Homo-oligomer: A and B are copies of this chain.
Amino acid sequence: MNDVNREIRSHDLTPGEVARRAGVAVSALHFYEREGLITAIRTTGNQRRYHRDVLRRIAFVRVSQGVGVSLADIRAALATLPEGRTPTRADWTKLSRSWRADLDDRISRLERLRDTLDGCIGCGCLSMKSCQLANPGDLLSQYGTGAVRLQQG
């Protein structure tokens, strides 16, 4: 977040390189920066240069999005990484672990959903009255329409 004044090093990456290697558009990099998900330093000519860490951060963003986490929650997760120093392997592992808990959660909800649906297929219902699945305030609301929080604090 605050490495804006860091000196540029030879192994820093240009926007194009990051875009190619991370598989996202340059416009997405700008967007992620505006959203506080990644940071860049600038050359004297005002062009962005990225630390290699940005690839990990983007990887984390994409993977998390892939399982349905919102950028807001991803930002919150990334904010737990240390500022000022390059995150260590342990920092990332901690992050991955918390994310994994969320994944387990999603899987079990989907499985419950599937099992309930099996019953629905058996009974041919899908009616609002009798079906666990379709009951608002029950399974559905637990599953939620919005993103599930990655962390509770």
Interface flags for A130-147 (1: CB within 8 Å of B; 0: not) read 010110110010011100
Contacts of A68 in B (CB 8 A): 68
Q: Do A126 and B90 touch (CB < 8 A)?
A: no
Describe A's contact surface by its main secondary structure.
helix
Residues of B within 8 A of A145 (CB): 65-66
Any B CB within 8 A of the CB of A59? yes
A66-104 CB contacts (< 8 Å) to partner B = 66-68, 89-90, 92-93, 96-97, 99-100, 103-104
Q: Is there contact, CB below 8 Å, between B100 and A59? A: no
Q: Which of the 9-residue segments A3-11, A37-45, A110-118 touches chain B?
A: A110-118
